Amino acid sequence: MYLKRLELQGFKTFAQKTVLVFEPDAGNRRGLTAVVGPNGSGKSNIADSLRWVMGEQSLKLLRAKKSEDVIFSGSDKKPRAGFAEVSMTLVNDDRQDLDFSEIFITRRLYRDGQSEYEINKQAVRLTDVIMLLAQCGIGQRTYSVIGQGMVDDILSASPSERKDFFDEAAGLRPFQLKRQASINKLDAARENLKQTETLLREIGPRLTSLERQVKRLEQRENLESELKELEVQYHGGMWHQLRAALKTSQGAHQKAAERAAQATAQADKLEAELHAMEKATPPSEGFRELRASLEKFSEERVKLRERQLKLESNREIAKARAEKPWSPLPLSKIIGEIESLHKRQLELLEMLENPKSDQLKIKSLASEIHDQVAELLNKLQRPAPEPSKPGNEDPAVAEEASEILMAMANVDKRMHEAQFELEQWNKKEDQKRSHIFDVQRELSGRRQEVQTAERQMSEAAVELARVETRRDAFLQELRTHRPEQESSLDALADKIQSHEQPDALLPKLTKLRAQLEWIGGIDPEILKEHQQTKVRYDELSTQTNDLSQAIGSLETIIKELDQTIAERSAASFRSLNHQFELYFKRLFNGGEAKLVEVFPEPEYNEQGEMVKEVDPNAGRVGVDILATPPGKRLKAIALLSGGERALVSIALICAIMATNPSPFVVLDEVDAALDESNSNKFAEIITTLADRTQFVIVTHNRATMSSAHILYGVTMGADGVSQLLSVKLQDVIKQAK
């Protein structure tokens, strides 16, 4: 691999597009290209551009204070550039590490600070550029580009800084980058593992809780399935039972209502008949008529009797006058008898007017009145004693007495007829009263039947209400637990056998509901959350395992890289030390020089106690350089003269290039401090190394320029822009011949 082409545009003093082409010499060696020019012409900017395009970030090494200083800043005659761009073309002709025959690397910077990197016209990162160059054996910070003053910096650097230089020179940079990348990945993997384990610790309890809920949900589903089947049997049986009980209660209520209605109708009929009898001629009116007639006849008879008594009294008086005196029934006694009889008649009338009076008492009282009337009549009708001389009686008196007797006989006859009618009336009234009593008894019986039927109807209504209450309670319970079964209750009831007892299922039903209530309501989304959490947990577990395996693999890789670095570092250091001694003796015509590895030492405090032990697996931490020119004692590098220091640095650089040649090396005036003799030696060594390494040297030295096969001259005009002139020395030699 070698550098084929370098393009600059807007970089520092190269405002216009400038192209440098680097071709092998006539012997197809990598060759040597010299860049010459007066001081201040901008020739060192070519070395800076190579360093910049390879990803250099140090503004100090680029001889700038800020990033935009690498962009052409303009002059009095030339405006400033808007961007800086450098492109480098590498030819991959002898390496198999990369698939490209040519590698085109570009870096571009705009004034707004935007930076771009490209590899073969594809945008990439800075890390990609550095890794690619490391794989090619090119380093932008060490010996691939050695600028002004860096030769002496190698000697004045600390052992640890020299270690980095020698590691890159030994070709360990790719392994170190891989190791650092592996360490970064390892740190990232450990951090990810830590975060993943933290997430697992957070998700684990939640997953356990969700698994318990899912198990409870599965248990709930089984219980709900069993409960549903049991509820079908229970609800169907209960509805079958309630429906039958409701039908029975409704039938009993209807029959009782029919019996009550029939008995009520009969009672109403009897009551109507009783009312009709009551609306007939009142018993008191007929009785009053008969009583008035009887009283009238009694009064007439009393009057006749009074006339008779008066007449008889007169006759008796007359007779007594004529004969001995006759004592008739006293009038006061007659009146007393009549008043007593009248009272008893009134009592009989009151008893007759009262339908509830005892018939036996009425008959007894009527018989007593009849006997009293007969006795009184017998007393009143007892004949007076015949006069001793009938012929002496007054005819008018006799006629009046005869009339009275006839009238009294007529009145008695009529009284007997009225009495007979009264007795017949009493018999009829007795019959009526007896019929009324029969109707009343029958009405009472019918009313008793009505009451019995109504009581039965009330009991049936109570039973019906109880059944309806049970039905409503059952439906309410059904709507609470299984509202969807309400529309299919009849179908469920038809499936249930009548001999089944649904109440026997109630304890088990209650137990299942209690278990479901204890389990509680679980959101079905728990399944989804559990699945998501389980997937997340499994993913994290897989990631944890992968990360653990990756950490193990990275640790193995790091160990292998450490071993490779250590082995290569040791081999390279031995070879480098040998080559350094050879080139030192060649440049100094003798003397001794060697490289010494520096290993870590334990640290002690002021009291002499060890505060930090040495890791037995730790490698070297630095490199010291010991150089003794011929005729001098071995002494520190800092005590060498400037020329001696330059020769030591050149010997070290040549040793590095001989040990691990880079595809190309840029040297920026590293031979400035050499005298003519040492310059010739330097040129000879560079020419020897040019077989394997391409050299681009910025120089003023004639010996170095004479060894180059291409010479680029850099000039600067009045506009402050660097111009490039190129000469192939082979063509000049041909023209001279």
pLDDT of residue 281: 47
Contact between 143 and 165 (Cβ < 8 Å): yes
- Which two tokens mark 549? 């395996």
pLDDT of residue 480: 76
Average pLDDT across the chain, whole number: 78
Could you list the residue range(s) of the whole structural domain that residue 407 is in? Answer: 282-439
pLDDT of residue 88: 93
Contact between 235 and 407 (Cβ < 8 Å): no
CATH of the domain at 683: 3.40.50.300
Measured distance CA(530)–CA(206) in Å, rounded: 9
Residue 240 located in a structural domain: no
Reported as half-sphere exposure (CB side, CA atoms, 13 A), residue 221 has a value of: 8
Measured distance CA(235)–CA(505) in Å, rounded: 10
Q: Which of 246, 245, 235 is nearest to 494 (CA)?
A: 235
Say yes or no to pLDDT of 209 above 60. yes
Detail the DSSP E strand segments found in 533-621. 592-598, 603-604, 610-612
Q: Hey, what amino acid is at 379?
A: K
Mean pLDDT confidence for 396-400 = 75
DSSP state of 502: G
Element (H, E) at 77: none
- From 411, 439, 467, the end of a domain falls on 439
Instruction: Of 10-19, 151-160, 235-244, 716-725, give the range with the top mean pLDDT.
Output: 10-19
Quick one: CA dihedral 462, 467, 472, 473, positive or negative? positive
- The residue ranking higher by pLDDT, 20 or 689, is 20
Query: 722-728 and 145-146 as β-strands: parallel, antiparallel, unpaired?
Result: unpaired
Count the Cβ atoms, other than its own, within 10 Å of residue 35. Answer: 27
- From 439, 472, 504, the end of a domain falls on 439
Reported as half-sphere exposure (CB side, CA atoms, 13 A), residue 66 has a value of: 7
Measured distance CA(670)–CA(159) in Å, rounded: 22
Q: Which of 352, 355, 340, 359 is nearest to 287 (CA)?
A: 352
Reported as half-sphere exposure (CB side, CA atoms, 13 A), residue 693 has a value of: 27
Backbone dihedral angles phi then psi of residue 339, each to the nearest 5 degrees: -65, -40
Residue 451 located in a structural domain: no
Numbers of helices and strands, H then E, in the chain: 16, 16
pLDDT of residue 92: 82
Measured distance CA(234)–CA(155) in Å, rounded: 102
- Which two tokens mark 312? 């008889």
Query: 694-698 and 32-36 as β-strands: parallel, antiparallel, unpaired?
Result: parallel
Measured distance CA(405)–CA(305) in Å, rounded: 9
Quick one: CA dihedral 680, 684, 685, 686, positive or negative? positive
Backbone dihedral angles phi then psi of residue 544, each to the nearest 5 degrees: -60, -45
pLDDT of residue 324: 45
Measured distance CA(260)–CA(449) in Å, rounded: 7
Mean pLDDT confidence for 99-106 = 87
Instruction: Of 41-45, 82-86, 177-181, 545-549, give the range with the top mean pLDDT.
Output: 82-86
Q: Any idea what the Cα angle at residue 380 is, between residues 375 and 383, rounded to 5°?
A: 120
Q: What is the pLDDT of residues 558-596, one digit of tens each?
A: 888 888 888 888 888 888 888 888 988 888 888 888 888
Say yes or no to pLDDT of 412 above 50. yes
Residue 613 located in a structural domain: no
Assign 58 to helix, strand or coil: coil
Measured distance CA(327)–CA(322) in Å, rounded: 14
Query: 115-119 and 122-124 as β-strands: parallel, antiparallel, unpaired?
Result: antiparallel
- Which two tokens mark 242? 């309630």
Measured distance CA(439)–CA(658) in Å, rounded: 155
Detail the DSSP E strand segments found in 68-168. 83-91, 102-110, 115-119, 122-124, 145-146
Length in residues, the chain? 737
Measured distance CA(668)–CA(231) in Å, rounded: 99
| Residue linked to tokens 């935009």 | 68
Residue 727 located in a structural domain: yes
Residue 736 located in a structural domain: yes
Q: Percentage of the chain surpassing pLDDT 70? A: 78
| Residue linked to tokens 């004592």 | 327
Q: Which of 43, 25, 74, 6 is nearest to 697 (CA)?
A: 43
- From 417, 439, 461, the end of a domain falls on 439
**Could you tell me the pLDDT band of residue 52, with boundaries at 50, 70 and 90?**
very high
Residue 570 located in a structural domain: no
pLDDT of residue 329: 60
Residue 398 located in a structural domain: yes
Say yes or no to pLDDT of 28 above 80. no
Q: Count of domains in the chain? A: 2
| Residue linked to tokens 């190269």 | 14
CA dihedral 219, 223, 224, 228 (to 10 degrees): 160
Contact between 31 and 91 (Cβ < 8 Å): no
Count the Cβ atoms, other than its own, within 10 Å of residue 351. Answer: 16
pLDDT of residue 326: 47
Among 32-41, 42-51, 143-152, the range scoring the smallest mean pLDDT is: 143-152
Residue-wise DSSP of 357-388: S-HHHHHHHHHHHHHHHHHHHHHHTPPPPPPS
Mean pLDDT confidence for 434-442 = 68
Measured distance CA(572)–CA(172) in Å, rounded: 9
pLDDT of residue 706: 86
Contact between 13 and 43 (Cβ < 8 Å): no
Residue 685 located in a structural domain: yes
